[in-house]
Amino acid sequence: MKKKKKIGFIGTGNMAEALIAGLLKAKFIAPEQIMAFDSDARRLRFIQKKYGVKKASDNNHVSSQCNPLVFCVKPQSMKEVVEEIADSLDPSKLLISIAAGVPLYTIETYARKQLRLIRAMPISTSLSRKVPVPSPRETLPPRQTSNWPRPSSIASEDRLSSTSL
């Protein structure tokens, strides 16, 4: 029997919550397939109760049980977290970091080994699970002149020139 994948979250702040909520809302994964740990026990309990995810006892527990592993920690905490779990990290495990300003090579330096890493930069609008989409008018360059031909007038000019032959 094939073992179900578990996605691990180290850190359960606002961005982690948005990612967890999005995964569950999209029915991409079941709540029992998500494991999380946070040094803030109250926050971890809140996420566990609200979303039904599994609560880990520490970062090593998440790291040893989950693949992929999502780092949702503050940039200043990344070194401590990666050094703590370095022994359970290897290239077979996919690591995703959303820590702003922490390059991937820095994470590998903290772990003292090469890893399979992805750096994601979610935007704050992902908290509401809505993203800004430019309107068509915003994507077009401003008109420099009012004499630009319109697509319909170009088509009608082509028809006229071909019928006049």
pLDDT tens for 135-148 read 444 444 444 444 44
CA pair distance 125, 119, nearest whole angstrom: 18
Contact of 67 with 92, CB cutoff 8 Å:
yes
Domain boundaries, the chain: 7-128
pTM of the model: 0.74
- Residue type at 7 in one-letter notation: I
In the chain the beta strands, taken as DSSP E runs, fall at 7-10, 34-37, 54-55, 69-71, 94-97, 116-119
pLDDT of residue 17: 93
pLDDT of residue 121: 79
Domain 7-128 class, CATH top level:
alpha beta
Low-confidence residues of the chain, pLDDT below 70? 1-3, 123-165
Q: What is the residue-wise DSSP string for 105-143?
A: HHHHHHHTS--EEEE----GGGGGT------HHHHSPPP
pLDDT of residue 130: 55
pLDDT of residue 101: 87
**Alpha carbon 99 to chain centroid distance?**
11
SS3 152: helix
pLDDT of residue 3: 59
